[in-house]
Amino acid sequence: MAFPQQLKDYLDELGCTPVELARACSISPSTVSRYLSGQREPKPRSAGFQQLCLGIVALGGGRYSIDEVRLALSGDGIENDIDPEQFTTSFRLLIEKLGIGGNRLARALGFDPSYISRISSGQRMPSNQRAFVAGTARYVARSCSDARSIIALSSLLDVPEDELASYGQRYAAVSAFLGMPLADDMPQERGQDASLPGFLEHLDSFNLNDFLVDVKFDDLKVPTVPFSIPTSRTYTGIEQMKQAEIDFLRSAVLSRSTEDVIMFSDMPIEEMGADEQFAKNVMMGIALLVRKGIHLHNIHNIHRPLNELFMGLEAWIPLYMTGQLSSYYLPEPTNQVFLHFIRSAGTVAAAGEAIAGDQGSGRYLVSKRSDDVAYYRTRATQLLGCALPLISVYRDGDDEALAQRLALLHAEAGDKTVEVGEGVFRNMTITVLPGTYALITKEGAPRVRLLTEFPALVDALLEFEPVLFNQKK
């Protein structure tokens, strides 16, 4: 496919304007305009081409890999050889005969429902047909796993039911039905990433009571030793940024305020995470805030590899289970070029900024000035208003609230749930409504229900094959 058309298709799939693409790529709108008109085309090895690819990946929010976008825009290696008429007919039948709602499929694949509607009506074809067929086949193979669905799938595909018993068989049959057999190219399931089994196994065996005893949580005393920073102080560079984080936490812990704390950062964490002592100090500061009775609203940066997200969530499990932390995410990347850091407490605020790739020269502020505290509280509250729940924790006594939320989700998406890893876990069950939510019910101490509506986590849990657990137990 020609470069301008491929770029237009990406804009269509993302539902964004040329100006929004330009902003995400850190290039001028006029340059994007020339790309779209065919007046100019970046060379595949140029910096402009790389910026364009990174911008599309960022706007996709995990929908595309950087290699996939590079190949598509360079016109090298992306197969788009499906017969359009056959594909449109087959795709429409798949949706209609199996009762697959366009909204649910769109949500599962990460597209706007109107885009799915145009494909099913034959008004357009997917830009990356292989990826679209693979995603659709993956969704159908997972959601059509019960006996009744397999009968309907067998009738539609004209394939014997016993040849649709496994996920792989259904995946291969659906992709062939759509005109692009992918039996020999079945993508690795995200659930097989070691991070997901690690996350689930840790959760399955986790006992909060034992954890609290081990870390002597009940013995933690909120310090009263005088601690003060200047009314306002600036910090420069990675090392001072670490100090800014610690100074903020100390000030929040030692203040008399018990107002909620709001935290967000889209800055890279590799360098700071490598400092074990710093990481311990941060977690201790947060534990002290929890011990003090403060509720924390933590906005996670989910625009990172899924395995890193799971590892980060695993570290937060103990604190989330106290019921005093709420986790959120922003559905779109804030910016891949201009990085931000914000912390807001009742009597202290912290904020910072840096350019991606040059975080060491970034500048950070910790302030107890009333006007700064009020300003950053407003900014943090507005940011929280743009965020969606990442994992909602329901403890004993929250049954009615959970039932109401699930009823609302089922009213919108139906009742076709899937049990994942049934009989595998000791203390845990996982229920997934494809494209809508995943509910992890943990019966061990404490009994909690973790509900996520974040599409990538829902999809990863839906695709999880508990092979590793079967080998261990």
What is the percent of the chain with per-residue pLDDT over 90, rounded to a whole number?
14
Q: How far apart are CA 111 and CA 455, in angstroms?
A: 11
Instruction: Annotate 52-85 with b (16+ C-beta within 10 A) or e (fewer).
Output: bbbbbbbbbbbbbeeebbbbbbbeeebebebeee
Residues 366 and 315 in one domain: yes
Residues 143 and 235 in one domain: no
Identify whether residues 42 and 169 lie together within a single domain. no
pTM: 0.56
Q: How confident is the model at residue 187 (pLDDT cuts 50, 70, 90)?
A: very low
Confidence at residue 365, expressed as pLDDT on a 0 to 100 scale: 94
Distance separating alpha carbons of residues 95 and 42, to the nearest angstrom = 38
Whether residue 47 lies inside any domain: the answer is yes
Q: How confident is the model at residue 268, as a pLDDT? A: 73
Position 424 in a domain: yes
Confidence of residue 194 (pLDDT cuts 50, 70, 90): very low
Banded model confidence at residue 466, pLDDT cuts 50, 70, 90 = low
| The last residue of a domain, from among 74, 92, 107 | 74
Residue 444 DSSP SS3: coil
Instruction: Indicate whether 402 and 461 sit together in one domain.
Output: yes
Say whether both 383 and 407 belong to one domain. Answer: no
> Distance (Å, rounded) from C-alpha 293 to C-alpha 222?
10
Rounded Cα distance between 300 and 297, Å, is 10
226 prior amide bond cis, ω within 30: no
Phi, psi for residue 235 in degrees, rounded to 5 = -135, 145
Whether residue 370 sits in one domain with residue 276: yes
Q: Judge if 342 and 405 occupy the same domain.
A: no
CATH at residue 340: 3.30.870.10
Q: Is residue 215 part of a domain?
A: no
**Least confident piece of the model among 24-28, 112-116, 192-196, 392-396:** 192-196
302 and 454 Cβ atoms separated by less than 8 Å:
yes
Does 216 or 355 have the greater pLDDT score? 355
Last residue of a domain, one of 352, 369, 390: 390
Asked whether the beta carbons of 60 and 107 are under 8 A apart, the reply is: no
Confidence band of 183 (pLDDT split at 50, 70, 90): low
Per the domain annotation, does 206 fall within a domain? no
- Residue 439: the pLDDT is 93
Query: What is the pairing mode between strands 338-344 and 325-329?
Result: unpaired
Q: What share of the chain is helix, strand, coil (3-state, %, to 5)?
A: 50, 15, 35
pLDDT digits (tens, 9 = 90+) for 237-291: 888 888 899 889 988 988 889 999 999 998 876 656 566 778 778 878 888 888 8
Residue 240 lies in a domain: yes
Number of domains in the chain: 4
Q: How confident is the model at residue 305 (pLDDT cuts 50, 70, 90)?
A: low
Do 69 and 158 share a structural domain?
Answer: no
Q: Does one domain contain both 361 and 247?
A: yes
Q: What is the pLDDT of residue 212?
A: 55
More confident residue, 64 or 231: 231
Three-class DSSP category at 284? helix
- Can you tell me whether residue 441 is helix, strand or coil? strand
Residues 285 and 257 in one domain: yes
How confident is the model over 224-236, as a mean pLDDT? 69
Chain length of the chain: 473
Bigger pLDDT: 431 or 59?
Answer: 431
What is the domain range of residue 91?
84-187
pLDDT, position 403: 93
Q: Given 146, 167, 187, which residue is the final one in a domain? A: 187
Backbone angles phi, psi at 236, to 5 degrees: -130, 135
- The mean pLDDT of 283-300, rounded to a whole number, is 86
3-state secondary structure of 331: coil
Mean per-residue pLDDT over the chain, rounded: 79
In three-state secondary structure terms, 263 is: strand
Among 102-106, 347-351, 358-362, 445-449, the least confident range: 102-106
In-domain check, residue 210: no
| 306 pLDDT higher than 80 | no
What is the Cα Rg of the chain in Å?
24
- Asked if pLDDT for residue 79 goes beyond 70, the answer is no
pLDDT higher at 421 or 396: 396
If asked whether residues 306 and 398 sit together in one domain, one would say: no
* Ordered DSSP codes for 65-80: -HHHHHHHHHTSS---
Mean pLDDT, residues 233-238 taken together: 88
Kindly state whether residue 106 falls inside one of the protein's structural domains: yes
| CA-to-CA separations, 215 to 218, 265, 295, 322, 444, in angstroms, rounded | 9, 27, 20, 14, 19
Q: What are phi and psi of 33, to 5 degrees?
A: -60, -40
Would you state the pLDDT for residue 59?
Answer: 77
Residue 15, number of CB atoms within 10 A of its CB = 12
Do residues 232 and 159 share a domain?
no
Domain presence at residue 308: yes
Report, as an integer, the average pLDDT of 315-342. Answer: 81
Q: What is the pLDDT of residue 223?
A: 52
